[in-house]
Amino acid sequence: MVACQGTEGAYSQKVCDRMFEFADILYMNTFNDVFSAVEKGMCPFGVLPIENSTAGSVTQVYDLMEKHRFHIVKAARQRVDHCLLALPGTQLSDVKEIVSHEQALRQCGAFLAAHPKIRATPMENTAVAAAHAARSGRRDLAVIASRDCAALYGLSVLRDDVCDTGNNFTRFICIAKDLTVYEGANKISLMLSAAHRPGSLYRLMSRIAVQGLNLTKLESRPIPGKDFEFRFFFDIEASIRDASVRALMGQLQAEADQMVFLGNYEEMR
């Protein structure tokens, strides 16, 4: 069983179906619920969006990483093609409000800016927004979601491809309670906090550079309760099976104030 946020038709569902043959999906209301379901043993796996090529990092997920115990065991890049959907018979000129996930709204900023009289309202998930639009009966309401949601919820496509770019991808991670490294794992994710003094972050990054490893992601998030101090998330192209990489992990742990090894995994494309 795998947990994901949203409902049928969500992009998270597409990723679950790619990662797991005949996936038994448990839909959760929030990202926090997905983490909790895995942490408490309700589901062995959970799937979460972490970064979009247009709108950037899903900071809510990064912040939740600090509050839960988990490991990343898989990842995938999912192409995201947003459409504008509404009840059959609705015209774009009828629309006064568009609902969707906040990330989807950001990914379609140019379309929304071209229609300034239409109010954009964030909801928990694109598919949840599509189900809401279908139930509402409102012909002044539209939703940004996948084309699959049109068939699922009896909506019509008003506009195809309303994304700012045709090259729109979201990275998803699959989390589990226990650390498992599958064959082919080639990316390592770490959560680090550095001493609050000059050069501390540089020293961590230089350790990685000396090994000739590619740092593909560096995300900083504020540490609650500490003024302007940050925790860092590193993604590194590497395998823990490599002895030099294991030695590097030891060096980073000794250098950092705190280090959490989040996982070593392969990313599906």
Give the DSSP letter of residue 88.
T
| Four-residue CA torsion sign, 169, 174, 179, 184 | negative
Query: Coil, strand or helix: which one is 244?
Result: helix
The helix or strand, by DSSP H or E, that contains position 127, with its residue range, turns out to be helix 126-136
Per the annotation, the verdict on 230 as an active-site residue is no
Element (H, E) at 122: strand 119-123
Judge whether 22 counts as a catalytic residue. Answer: no
Q: Which of 31, 70, 111, 172 is catalytic?
A: 172
Q: Contact 215/236 with Cβ under 8 angstroms?
A: yes
Q: Which of 7, 90, 126, 170 is the catalytic position?
A: 170
45: enclosing H helix or E strand: strand 45-52
Query: Smallest Cα–Cα separation from 192: which of 215, 165, 170, 175?
Result: 215
Q: Is residue 27 classed as helix, strand or coil in its secondary structure?
A: strand
| CA–CA–CA angle 230, 58, 256 (5° rounding) | 25
H or E element that contains 100: strand 97-101
- Catalytic positions: 170, 172
